[in-house]
Structure 1
Amino acid sequence: MKKLALGLAAAATIFGSIGGMGCKGDSDKPAGGAAGGAAGGVKIGLVTDVGGRGDQSFNDGALRGLEMWAAGKKYTAGGYQPLPEAELKASIPVSLQNSGIAPLGVTPVVLTSKAQEDYEPNLGLLVTEKVGLAVGVGFMIENALEAAAKKHTGTRFLLIDSPLLDAQNKPYTLPNVQTVVFREHEGSFLAGALAGLASSSGKVGFVGGMELPIIKKFEAGFIAGLKTVNAQAADQAKRVYTGSFDNSSAGKRAGLDLYNQGVDIVFHAAGADGLGVIQAAKEQNKLAIGVDSDQAHLAPQNVLTSMVKQVDYAIYTAVKSVADNTFKAGDRVLGLKENGVGLAPVKVDFPNKQAALDKVEKLRTAIVEGKIKVPATLEELQSFTPPPIE
């Protein structure tokens, strides 16, 4: 089998009743009818990765793009409710406030997976529901989505965070699949630069989830940004992996260990494990940098910023293309230039904050203009020469 077989064992839970069907779990029936019922417009399906709903990060970002932005719905314990306009506006970041985000009248059908083995049957359920678009969230779903797309050529699919890969792990395309990947290393570069400028101890850390190439992109970019502003801190940076994406306790242990070694800022790229890192920062009165979504609300005094991936907007624009009948298969790559990644607002104060933010903005501009090529692998990091900055 090509790529990594993770073999995570658990049950899948269905968020939304799917035509009376179940898949390894319980179902919740949204208010006003089942998700994917007759009410509303075209049905849009989404299968989460193992982090699931409530990870305050990658999956929640995906759900925001579908449920809040595209459907205008708010998910509650009792099911979907209309999303108040004020909450919709508050959920849209400053960088996207002029992008025309407005509900499209679609009906969300959401399945959350607890193991890799759940991906393909969940995608099959979405096909059975005749969704206008089936969204697979996360690189681990690539195998399953590829198989489903080949089997169900009349269904459109959206794969988030991975290209389609052939038996030799080379990217290729299918006529009914759109893929979206991000230049995570570019946003992580800015996070590293900010960490180096904001650290009072000169000791900075990184916590990754599974030790996979996509997470190494975060690590490489982060250390490159740190090296650009503080070479000594980059050389001494502590880097650890938890080995999972759904274990906040493991993240907390990793965070506490780093903080106890004198590290005062930790950047995590660890999914739900990162919630534990942020909790550790809160308990130790240190700083953390969140990932994928703006995680400042989890610990307003302890989250310096977050390296945001606009998964929400990638999904919203794909759904809009389905609604507008302009959907196109193929690959999309989103980085700083495309506003696909970036830093969340920095609300925590630290000495010389404005000067630091100005320097980070200059670095962002240099990357957008092609003056800085951020390393995407640890091998590229070894040969990376920091650019001169004012």
Structure 2
Amino acid sequence: MRATPRSLSLCLVLALALACKSHKEEPPSPSAAADAKAHGAGQPRIGLVLGLGGRGDESFNDSALRGLELWAAGLKYERGAYKLASPAEFQASLEPELAHREPPIIPLGIIPSVVQSRVAEDYEPNLQLMVDQKVSLIIGVGFMLENAVERVAQHNPGKPFLLIDSPLLNEKNEPYALPNVRAVTYRPEEGSFLAGALAGLVTKGGKIGFVGGMEIPLVKQYEAGFKAGVAATNPQATVISNYTGSFTNFALGKQVGQDVLAKGADVLFAAAGGDGVGAIQAVKEARDAGQEVYAIGVDSDQFHLAPKALLTTVLKRVDLTIYEAVRDQLQGRFQAGLSSQGLKEGGIALAPVRLSFPGKEEALRKVDALKARIIAGELRIPTP
């Protein structure tokens, strides 16, 4: 069912003082205005519309913002204003695989224009706002924006759009293409399989947890891949699954995480957005209390959330997808269509395993061997 617009959007990010005209507007801070004056003249603007949850989720949305703001614009967002990121901050955001990528990831000289959606009815007017602001590329972040991107793109055939994490779907729920929309989906089951394989090698008690957000096909992909990975390295292990039903409830995620730990899980994979951050906090507190438990994060590298407990993160490189789309647009190479990103394409990956544990070197060798088989097409991961 398609929603009709009924409420105003809140513009959290001010596009370097190029503010929203028709929606509720925040006054630019002095530092944001100064940055705009110093760095904004004549530079192309890229528009990005966030779904619910938005900035600060330490996961999916923050990955999107990293790709646009830090990588493409060379800026960091602090206390309501943009500031130039230092070379050290820029480099620290690049994982080893990306730090040496060719062509290199370098700032592209764009101005980010980011709008936060408060309710689903905001999606379409927020996307149209980007059209009205005459940005060079409009990005819709998340599967929930699929209907809105479809409608606004159809009404504005001369404007390019990027839809993240969903294809365009027709009335029969079948993927189809529009000539001005690049839609990117991912194969998270591949990274989740590797995470499950690692969990199966690390667990001591034979019980492993999975905490999902909304019980939808996208999240079920993570669960299916994770369970298959556990079975590949530890067929006797049991996976305890639970869903929170949302992506924005930290307290509920923590509660569900505590429940899974109470059932005996000693490794917990959280694929639940903001709820997952709560589940990781439950693992962190249990670890601080002396339990030998581990967490696995999702989407953005979440090691900083629990540096004594986080094994790795299943990365969905939304940041790289957005950066490369912006670069393509600026270089006149942007093409519409549907693409699927997995381990082979670099759209899915595991973050570095920084913690030490018994048998780590052998475990990583086994995981790397499985990764090579997936990339070679020798091993196909089940999906729901």
Band of TM-score, shorter chain: over 0.9
Query: Partner residue of 2:179?
Result: 175
* TM alignment of 1:37-186, pairs within 5 A: 39=41, 41-99=43-101, 100-186=104-190
1:274 aligns with 2:281: no
Length-normalised TM-score, structure 2:
0.92
Alignment-derived partner of residue 15 in structure 1: 13
Equivalent residue for 2:301? 294
User: Structure 1's 27 and 188: CA in aligned 2 closer, same or farther, altered over 3 A?
Assistant: farther
Partner Cα distance (2:206, 2:42) in 1: 54
Q: Deviations over 1:269-305 (max 9, x none)?
A: 1011111011100111121100001100111001111
Shift of 1:105: 0.4
SS at match of 2:334: coil
Report how far residue 218 of structure 1 moved.
Answer: 0.4
For 2:194, the equivalent position in structure 1 comes to 190
Compared CA separation, residues 20 and 149, structure 1 to 2 (3 A): closer
Of stretches 94-103 and 20-29 in structure 1, the one that deviates more from structure 2 is: 20-29
2:346 counterpart of 1:339:
yes
Which residue does 2:244 correspond to in 1? Answer: 242
Give the 3-state SS of the residue equivalent to 1:305 in structure 2: strand
Residue identity in the other structure for 2:341: L
**What CA distance in whole angstroms lies between the structure 1 residues aligned with 2:236 and 2:112?**
49
Distance 1:93 1:31, change over 3 A: farther
Q: Report how far residue 96 of structure 1 moved.
A: 1.2
User: 1:23: how far off?
Assistant: 3.0
- 1:157-207 residue CA offsets vs partner (Å, 9 max, x unmatched): 000000100111100010110011111000000010001101111110101
Superposition deviation, residue 118 in structure 1 = 1.2
For 1:266, the aligned partner's letter is L
Percent of aligned positions that are identical: 51
SS of the aligned residue for 2:268 comes to: strand
Alignment partner for residue 376 of structure 1, among 363, 372, 383? Answer: 383
Residue aligning to 1:327 = 334
User: SS state of the match for residue 12, structure 2?
Assistant: strand
Mapped partners of 2:27, 2:207: distance in 1:
46
CA 1:28/1:263 → structure 2, altered by over 3 Å: closer, same or farther?
farther
Q: CA deviation at 1:86?
A: 1.1
| Alignment partner, residue 218 of structure 2 | 214
Q: Match of 1:300, as an amino acid?
A: P
Q: Deviations over 1:219-267 (max 9, x none)?
A: 000000001011121xx21101100001111100010001111111110
Shift, 1:10, TM fit: 10
Q: What is the CA RMSD across the aligned residues, in angstroms?
A: 1.9
Deviations 1:288-331 (A, max 9, x none): 10000110011100111100011111100000011101111111
Q: Which secondary structure state, in structure 2, belongs to the residue aligned with residue 231 of structure 1?
A: coil
Seen in structure 2, the aligned counterparts of structure 1 residues 327 and 197 have a Cα distance that, compared at 3 Å, is: same
**Matched-pair contact (CA < 8 Å) for 1:58–1:293:** yes
Of residues 353, 360, 364 in structure 2, which corresponds to 1:353?
A: 360
Q: Is the contact between residue 209 and residue 267 of structure 2 (CA under 8 Å) also seen in structure 1?
A: yes
**Does structure 1 conserve the Cα–Cα contact (< 8 Å) formed by 2:11 and 2:20?**
no
CA contact (8 A) 1:240 1:254 kept: yes
Deviates more, 1:168-177 or 1:74-83: 74-83
Taking a change above 3 Å as real, the CA distance of residues 124 and 93 of structure 1, as seen in their structure-2 partners, is: same
Aligned length: 370
> What SS does structure 1 have at the residue aligned with 2:332?
coil
- Distance (whole Å) between structure 2 residues aligned to residue 196 and residue 10 of structure 1: 47
Q: 1:382 aligns to what?
A: none
**5+ residue gaps, structure 2:** 288-292
CA distance in structure 2 between the partners assigned to 1:225 and 1:357 by the alignment = 13
Where structure 1 has 5 or more consecutive residues not aligned to the other structure, the ranges are: 378-390
Counterpart of 2:290 in structure 1 is: none
Q: Would the aligned equivalents of 2:8 and 2:23 in 1 still touch at CA under 8 Å? A: no
Amino acid at match of 1:318: A
User: What is the CA distance between 1:28 and its match in structure 2?
Assistant: 4.7
Deviation at 1:21, TM superposition (A): 2.2
Partner Cα separation in structure 2 for residue 186 and residue 27 of structure 1 = 44
* Displacement of 1:40: 5.1
Aligned counterparts of 2:123 and 2:12: Cα–Cα separation in 1: 12
